[in-house]
Amino acid sequence: MPVETIAWKDGCIRIIDQTRLPQNLVHLDIREIPALADAVRELKIRGAPAIGIAAAMGMALAAWNFSGKDAEKMARAVREAGSILASTRPTAVNLFWAVGRMEKRLARDLHGGVDKIRSGLVEEALLILEEDRSTCRQMGRNGAALLPDPAAVVTLCNAGALATSDFGTALGVVYAAAESGKRVQVFACETRPLLQGARLTSWELRQSGIDVTVICDSAAAHVMKTQKVDCILVGADRIAANGDAANKIGTYGLAIAARAHRIPFYVAAPVSTIDPATPTGAEIPIEHRPAREISESFGVRTVPENASVLNPAFDVTPHEFITGIITEKGVLYPPFDEAIAGKIISD
């Protein structure tokens, strides 16, 4: 594992400030809910599984910080923390999944008093963390079997250890393949406007000794045409019941190019990213980020003051463009509605 993205340290949530990478590896110790919410909004911690873990730890933190013996008041403070954290980013379903799971644990322990609530919520948050680690490893093994040796992979954004608690989702497949002895080369799309691929994915892969080449987002189709690319591997922030997948903006374009070049397109995500309550991608809420991320990226103005800016953070790849969805429960193949209903919902 190249980095520890998030950890619980006795009433303190320790994260890597991902806005400081790759120049500086800086850890933040967070002890208050507003600071955690700001860290999620500002992408100091990001990635669907990681922000789900952060939300779970945040609700545990609210209980940890509560003083007094009134269990109902503690419960209100915990639920308020969950509501604040759930409002930070609308697309990643893992965030809402984790808040819902913590609310269930709260309800279970509510009549046991404040000490029971506090210890139960910390236990549940750490369980979510450990389950994510196990999930990443199993997902990686499931996906690694799909890669030839040697393999060349194109990816977008960061779907590795920095987006989870362990190996990652899409990059977890790469790490698992490398661990098994396969030679893997990664073409990392820079991922405009905040360069998560250039800043985070390339940094993380080099930490692990994986061969990585950064490319402009607009170079991906050219690379598919001129290089031997074996597959596209991306993560997801929400997968609808029919298999449509929301991921970092630019993923849809990668899928179109992959289809044109007959290259397999895989989405890697834990089962918690699949949202059976969302029928299709059309119902997935798309987060729109501040205009300054494009117009003044990294403090340099590159857009005229009077020009409008549209900055969607995600797009939706239709299920018919997806070859397979790699999960910890196995690789799902079309028809995805049946695969998801049979493999995920029924379990």
Phi, psi angle pair for 14, to nearest 5°: -105, 125
pTM attached to this predicted model: 0.95
Q: What is the CATH number of domain 139-345?
A: 3.40.50.10470
| pLDDT for res 338 | 96
234 beta partners: 267
- 2 pLDDT band, cuts 50/70/90, is low
Residue 155's nearest CA partner among 294, 265, 51 is 265
Write the pLDDT tens digit of every residue in 290-322. 999 999 989 999 999 999 999 999 999 999 999
Q: Residue 45 corresponds to which amino acid?
A: I
Write the pLDDT tens digit of every residue in 159-187. 999 999 999 999 999 999 999 999 999 99
* Average pLDDT score over the chain: 96
Whether the per-residue pLDDT at 209 is higher than 90: the answer is: yes
Q: Do 12 and 194 touch, CB atoms closer than 8 A?
A: no
Write the pLDDT tens digit of every residue in 235-252. 999 999 999 999 999 999
Per the residue annotation, which of 132, 217, 230, 237 is the catalytic one?
Answer: 237
CATH label, 6-137, candidates 1.20.120.420, 3.40.50.620, 3.40.50.720, 3.30.1230.10: 1.20.120.420
Torsion from C-alpha of 73, 124, 39, 203, nearest 10 degrees: 170
21-41 mean pLDDT: 97
| pLDDT for res 323 | 98
Distances (CA, A) of 137 to 46, 127, 134, 141, 328: 19, 16, 5, 6, 8
- 26 pLDDT band, cuts 50/70/90, is very high
- 285 pLDDT band, cuts 50/70/90, is very high
Kindly report, as residue ranges, where domains of CATH 3.40.50.10470 are found in the chain.
139-345
Q: How far apart are CA 153 and CA 177, in angstroms?
A: 12
326-347 mean pLDDT: 88
129-136 mean pLDDT: 96
Write the pLDDT tens digit of every residue in 63-83. 999 999 999 999 999 999 999
Active site residue 166: no
Whether the per-residue pLDDT at 346 is higher than 90: the answer is: no
111 by Cβ neighbours in 10 Å (0-12 / 13-18 / 19+) ranks as exposed
Kindly report, as residue ranges, where domains of CATH 1.20.120.420 are found in the chain.
6-137
113-127 mean pLDDT: 97
Distances (CA, A) of 246 to 18, 83, 230, 277, 294: 22, 23, 22, 15, 21
| pLDDT for res 342 | 85
Per-residue b or e along 270-294, where b marks 16 or more CB atoms closer than 10 Å to that residue's CB:
bbbbbbeebeebeebebbebeeebb
| pLDDT for res 1 | 59
Q: How far apart are CA 250 and CA 255, in angstroms?
A: 9
Q: How far apart are CA 159 and CA 164, in angstroms?
A: 8
